[in-house]
Amino acid sequence: MNHKAKAHIAVLLANFFFGTAVVAVKHITPSLMQPLALNFMRICGALILFWVLFAFNPSKPSIEKKDAPLFLICAISGVVINQILFVKGTSLTSPIHASLLSLATPIAITLISLFFLKEKPGVLKYTGLFLGISGAALLIVFRNMDTDKSSSLTGDTFVLLNATSYASYLILVKPLMEKYAPTHVIRWVFLFGAVFIIPLGWNDFNHINWASFNWTHWLSLGFIVIGATFFAYLFIVYGIAHLGSSVVGSYIYTQPFFATISAIILFNEHLNLIKIIAACLIFSGVYLVNRKKKLSVPEGLESIDG
């Protein structure tokens, strides 16, 4: 098997991890642990693994002092705010809602570019924004039509804010990605993020009732920390090296598919007409805002989610 074929498999696996992570999060929060406790374990666990990996492939470990403030801002937007809102929002809404609303990230990037980077929009972008926002609004307004009643306005709002925070991070981290290797940036962003996550999540972490865990809960926790964080980030970087950012970015469309299938199987969720229409609107919106001109996001991060 050649490197390109392996890269396609790696990127598909990464998006499988990201997509099905919403189901794993839903399985253990908030019933067994509070969202901040899961954030604590996710960030600290992945951080340890990133630095263990560094020990096997050592390089220059430091960063320039002048870049430290930007690393800090990226950690706050891309790790602290982003992942806290993702886990909290996912725990309060349905897996299908969470996966579809997470696709708002490319739309949020476009909006930020329009307002702050003075990017000139075209008809396709305006149409894409309208369709994407309409799809998200449809999911939220008609959430009470879900037969499982598991979605909430608060949860949906947190997921949307998570997508916005992550979109800000993608724009802010671009200069760092151009200067340092992607794995080096991720390692330091997680390190700065852990400085905030550890004190925020320590109390909830100490109150986890480990005795109540069964094998499915341990499997979900390991899947989130090792699969949907550590391996997923590494697979995306590997894919970028062999396929390029545009190809890797296109795989983001597979995440709702994986989330939907796993939610139907494990949570007995149902697809209704509203969800299908909303999904079509969001997919079309994301496609159109990327159609004419690729969004300027850092290489290696297009598909990385909460």
Two tokens at 204? 């909830």
pLDDT band at residue 218 using 50, 70 and 90 as cut-offs: very high
DSSP letters of 148-173? T----HHHHHHHHHHHHHHHHHHHHT
146 within 8 A of 94, measured Cβ to Cβ:
yes
pLDDT of residue 247: 66
The string of pLDDT tens digits covering residues 82-140 is 889 989 988 888 888 787 887 777 777 777 777 766 666 678 777 887 887 788 777 77
The string of pLDDT tens digits covering residues 25-38 is 989 988 899 999 99
State which of 8-22, 118-132, 255-269 shows the largest mean pLDDT.
Answer: 8-22
Helix (H, G, I), strand (E, B) or coil at 261: helix
Lowest average pLDDT, out of 33-42, 171-180, 285-294, goes to 285-294
The string of pLDDT tens digits covering residues 55-97 is 877 777 788 989 999 999 999 998 899 889 989 988 888 888 7
Two tokens at 293? 């001109």
Report, as an integer, the average pLDDT of 283-296. 66
Q: Which residues contact 251 (CB under 8 A, 6 or more apart)?
A: 11, 12, 14, 15, 239, 303
Buried b (16+ CB within 10 A) or exposed e, 202-221: eebbeebeeeebeeebeebb
